[in-house]
Structure 1
Amino acid sequence: MADSLTWMVVEDDHAIRDVINTMCELWDFTVYSFKDGFEAMAFLQKEELENPLPDIALIDIRMPGAWGHEISAAIREHSVLSDIGIILMTAYALPGSDEEDYLRTSGADRLIYKPLPPMDDLRELVYDVLKERQAHT
């Protein structure tokens, strides 16, 4: 697993977004941070994406603009980013069948609930998702 990762964070709650951004900076990770689905979709629709490309996307489900499952599906259809790890986040309780539907229709690898786990645990979850994706490619 690479020592330095690039995260794509899509979260409308500025406090959560700031915490994730700060942790990424402390770990010396690059982070592309978006405050809503509008910004994230605009990034995905660019002709050429800036380097480094994201390795992982951490995406809130409910926010202004495109919702997390829509952004995740757009990533899976993207010519360059289709193989990155995707973790959806929500503060809302979802019945098990809804969780499965979100994961299946969006192509996301995991769904986690807020409050977020401790940052070291979140980083380990990211590494686990990336290892699983590498094993399947």
Structure 2
Amino acid sequence: MSANDLQDLGVKLLSHGLKSQNCQLEILRLAHCILTGQCCEFVASVLLSSNSRLKELDMSGNDLLNIGMKLLSDGLKSPNCQLEILRLRHCNVTDEGCGYLSLALRSNPSQLRELDLSLNHLGESGVRMLSDLLKNPNCTLNKLKI
């Protein structure tokens, strides 16, 4: 669905279908869809759902900001979250957003193997928080792009 004018309302509507027990979708690409951080609330609701089978999510090239990372982190904390690959390139995330992601991944040892936060506005403390995740023995992350 990348490079479409979905906007937040489109993701809200899409999230209803993704939470259906009949949905078998494992890969969702929403890169460059004119999304804001508010759409992450709907994406998080999918990750929280026991019906979700999402393994790969790409939201790159959207203006998600730190509020998006805060909302998305709610879904990443869920034991129902099955994400293995999360791409958030060029989403205007700063150290604050890294803090939300780092906390979420520490609080729930998820299945996340790959996290791409390249082309964001990460400072030294954001990079440090994410790098420290790799030292955690419960961390399954083996590919971190910053």
More strand by share: 1
Shorter chain as denominator, the TM-score bin is: 0.3 to 0.5
TM-score by length of 1: 0.40
